[in-house]
Structure 1
């Protein structure tokens, strides 16, 4: 990864974040309850899946000789080994055939070249059932499931536009209605439409224009509130948008996020560096859960920022403005 000359610190954020994740592999490891129906998915499969997704994107946007690429590939190998070379996905599917998280985690690894043909074959069978297709999910989550299906060779044409129109971002809402839940929803809509930053052209022009106008004040609001996790996700969206518009990355926002880093490169979900979590034992489970996602998102956003530019700006001339009066988030 060769970042632009005006973003030297962004590269370091990615390096330090992945280095911290590498030293905390035990936190990402699957426990003995990984196959339990009542197991804690949010503290087992979710961290591992997020590690795989971020590292897959990092590996995609970096050269094989790059140390960041090599670390990302090593973490992907670790994640694949934790799943028993994909065999745990097949076993999970037998236990919970209509659970979507096994397919979503598998798809992240599949995007980096790790495949288990037997799981994909049975996943395709389950995906043809009415029970799978009629599982009730919010539109943003459904977009994610569709993306996971596509990575596994299951195609459902013409569904994305209809789903997009039902999401918060797809409706181009009044900018002052932005709040935390809307922020997380909009970032994931962007991630799903662009295959986690691999296909920036997947973001429709009207959303590019809307986000170019209103993302800066939303990001400023989140940074001011010390919402570091959501700020990292918004910086990833900013990297996608600026690749489409040709605008420079928000370096002032990166400086503010960098100031929240702990000495080993990790970033807390939210709050001050002097909050209670800062004084906890740094290798404890609670500390890990309070830092891993925001740290991974910082690495993800940093690599996408360093991957600029990706092509000519969207449209010509001045961008249309959206939403009337100023954005008060």
Structure 2
């Protein structure tokens, strides 16, 4: 498959996935109830998906490789997501209440990439960034990378030893590649995402890790294509873009295009129902749509040369005086 064919499939799958997501958020699904509090009894239900959709749309806006219609749709979706988070006030409140939690930082960074800023939250994060207690909090190595990259993107003081962070991961050890399992594969992909800031900093991936991925990524793609786990296939396609090996993803893009339904729904796997209640469909397959948009964006950016910057006219929201509690 030629590079132009890969680009064409990536554009097709990514655009259809973006429009599928847009149909839900424009229609009012995917948002909080009016009485939501910072306790967020089930963060994975709405809060985490809002961050994920902001990731996908924020990267699309950062790279500047989408057409005018997709760019407009991405801006609409991220605007809706920011409004659901009360323009950052919910993140501020949650970080204030739970200072050892990193999810407010990890969610906020996706909006910051697109030009949304919350002054009070950033001041709070800067204070926490200097505390030994916060930095010593126990986390999975890939999550520690996520926090470090978020601080890097937002512009907080960099106190991390990136080589040490990378070495602490499963991927950093470059172990026997045939022992990898489903969960570890997700850790691998996210280690790459955060080390390279979703492909914007490919030079930040240690050479021995890049070589290891070049050798074994095709085999891993074959495994999860064979079992029809399209969500993980999409994540591995992002890795292929991050390391500059677009040809590694040729069969993966063809497989995703074949699995995608006419309305844009991309199943997370070959076994989950793709018909039924719209809210359940968003819950089951929303992450895969996000992954498809990110995979398409990073693939196009590497192939065509993205802007890696905020598009002209993007908002810079410096709102967010500490709310009264």
Q: CA deviation at 1:165?
A: 0.7
Q: Which stretch shows the higher mean deviation, 31-40 or 19-28?
A: 31-40
- Closer, same or farther: CA 153–307 of 1 in aligned 2, 3 Å: closer
Distance 1:86 1:169 in 2: 34
Equivalence for 2:258: 259
What are the ranges of 5 or more consecutive residues in structure 1 without an aligned counterpart? 312-329
Instruction: Name the structure 2 match of 1:137.
Output: 139
- Distance (Å, rounded) in 2 between the aligned partners of 1:37 and 1:179: 33
Greater relative CO, 1 or 2 (CA 8 Å, sep 6+):
2
1:65 deviates by 6.0
The 8 Å contact of residues 33 and 39 in structure 1, kept in 2 or not, is answered as no
Deviation at 1:128, TM superposition (A): 2.2
Distance 1:34 1:185, change over 3 A: farther
RMSD, aligned CA: 2.0
| CA distance in structure 2 between the aligned counterparts of 1:168 and 1:99, rounded to whole angstroms | 23
In structure 2, what is the equivalent of residue 269 of structure 1? 268
Q: Secondary structure at the match of 1:98?
A: coil
What secondary structure does 2:87 align onto? coil
Match of 2:18 in 1: 18
**1:59–1:267 Cα change, 3 Å:** same
Counterpart in the other structure of 1:322:
none
Q: Counterpart in 1 of 2:301?
A: 307
Distance 1:63 1:304, change over 3 A: closer
Cα distance in 1 for partners of 2:41, 2:170 equals: 31
Is 1:280 aligned to residue 276 of structure 2? Answer: yes
Spell out, residue by residue over 1:71-97, the C-alpha distance to the aligned partner (whole angstroms, 9 max, x if none).
Answer: 212212111111222122222222222
Q: Which range is displaced more, 33-42 or 206-215? A: 33-42
SS of 1:278's partner is: coil
Does the 8 A contact of 2:111 with 2:117 survive in 1? yes
Taking the TM superposition and a 5 Å limit, the aligned residue runs for 1:184-263 are 184-241=186-243, 243=244, 248-263=247-262
Q: How far did residue 54 of structure 1 move? A: 1.2
Q: What's 1:29 paired with? A: 31
Query: What's the offset of the Cα at 1:270?
Result: 1.2
In the alignment, structure 2 segments of 5+ residues that lack a partner are: 306-325
Whole-Å Cα distance in 2 between the matches of residues 189 and 207 of structure 1?
10
Which residue matches 1:159?
Answer: 161
Is residue 233–residue 301 contact of structure 1 (8 Å, CA) maintained in 2?
Answer: yes
1:68 aligns with 2:62: no
Return closer, same or farther for 1:82/1:266 CA change in 2, 3 Å cut-off: same
Q: TM-score, normalised by structure 1?
A: 0.85
Q: Relative to total residues, which structure has the larger helix share, 1 or 2? A: 2
Q: Name the CA shift for 1:64/1:268 in 2 (closer, same or farther; >3 Å).
A: closer
Question: 187-196 or 118-127: which moved more?
Answer: 118-127
Match of 2:151 in 1: 149
Residue in structure 2 matched with residue 87 of structure 1 by the alignment: 89
Counterpart-to-counterpart distance in 2, 1:66 and 1:204 = 36
The alpha-carbon deviation at position 198 of structure 1 amounts to 1.8
SS in 2 for 1:57: helix
Aligned partners of 1:267 and 1:178: how far apart in 2?
25
CA distance in 2, matches of 1:153, 1:110: 10
Residue 280 of structure 1, CA deviation = 2.0
| Equivalent pairs, count | 301
Query: Is the contact between residue 64 and residue 70 of structure 1 (CA under 8 Å) also seen in structure 2?
Result: no
Structure 2 contact 3–247 (Cα < 8 Å) conserved: no
